[in-house]
Structures are given as structure tokens and as C-alpha cells.
Amino acid sequence: MTARAWLRTGLIILAVYHFVLGVWSLFLPRSFYDNFPAPGHAWVALLPPYNEHLLRDFGALNLALTVLLGTAAAVAERHLIFTALAAAIVVEVPHMIYHTLHLEDFPPADAVIQTIALTVIMVIPVALLIPARRLPRPLDDARRLG
């Protein structure tokens, strides 16, 4: 698989993840709070009290990140990919750290699953920096064409 194919695949995975979070929390904030990630495993409800405004903002920001990640996947241009990956890293690292430090009310299995899931989602954009470095720089493209 080429570097560009790896990047597109990873960016699409991240975009879909953020799309699901975004749509669910923006349009159905109470459902997201009570049922994320699945009925009987209400991870969000185990944390601070319900706040519709905060959940709708979280949803809108996830949809904004979806636009950036999806555009980067479609265009597959070096600078845009690095920008999208940096944005994802800025979101995922503190999100993962926060949740890892606040597991006291979680059933053990949910704590493990959540930590693994958030770690994977955090590692994807970091790992994609490797194939992103293999993409040609715009100046390199101009030299080849000129």
C-alpha cells in the first residue's frame, strides 16, 4: 500500500469516528450522554452532570474536525494532511489523558475497553505522520513539473 493510500485510509477512519461522535452529540445530546458508546455502557454519564450546551459544542467541534479530516483524505496534499493530523493529535491526546485519569466510577471492563479505544484513536494520527513525511513537498512537485 502506498503512503497516500495509508494516509487516506487512516484519515477516513478518523473522519468517520468524529462524524459519529459529532452527529450523535450535536443532534441527540441526551441520547449521547445516556448511551455512549452503547446502551448499558454509558461512559459519558459516568462523568460530569449532563450539560446540553457542552455536548452540542462537542458535537459541532467533532463535525468541524470531520470536515478537515475528510478534506485532507480527499485532497491528499501534504500540508493539509499535516494540518489535519496535528488537529486530531491536539484533540485526541488531552482527551485520552483526561479519560485515563477519570476511571474511578467505570466498571473494570469498560475502563479497559475505553482506554484501549482512546489509545487506538490517539495513535492513528501520530502513526500517520510517518507516511505523511513521504509525500512530496509542494516545492518538489514544482521542480518536477518545471
Q: What nine digits make up the cell of 50? A: 449532563
CB 89 within 8 A of CB 125: yes
pLDDT at 146: 47
Total number of domains constituting the chain: 1
pLDDT at 90: 98
Domain residue limits at 66:
3-145
Residue located via cell numbers 496534499: 77
Q: At what angle do helices 52-75 and 78-100 cross, to 10 degrees?
A: 150
Q: At what angle do helices 3-27 and 108-133 cross, to 10 degrees?
A: 140
Local confidence pLDDT in tens for the 146 residues of the chain: 898 999 999 999 999 999 999 999 999 999 999 999 999 899 999 988 999 999 999 999 999 999 999 999 999 999 999 999 999 999 999 999 999 999 999 999 999 999 999 999 999 999 999 999 999 987 655 555 44
pLDDT at 137: 87
How far apart are alpha carbons 11 and 132 in whole angstroms? 11
Quickly list H helices, the chain: 3-27, 29-35, 52-75, 78-100, 108-133, 138-145
pLDDT at 141: 52
pLDDT at 48: 83
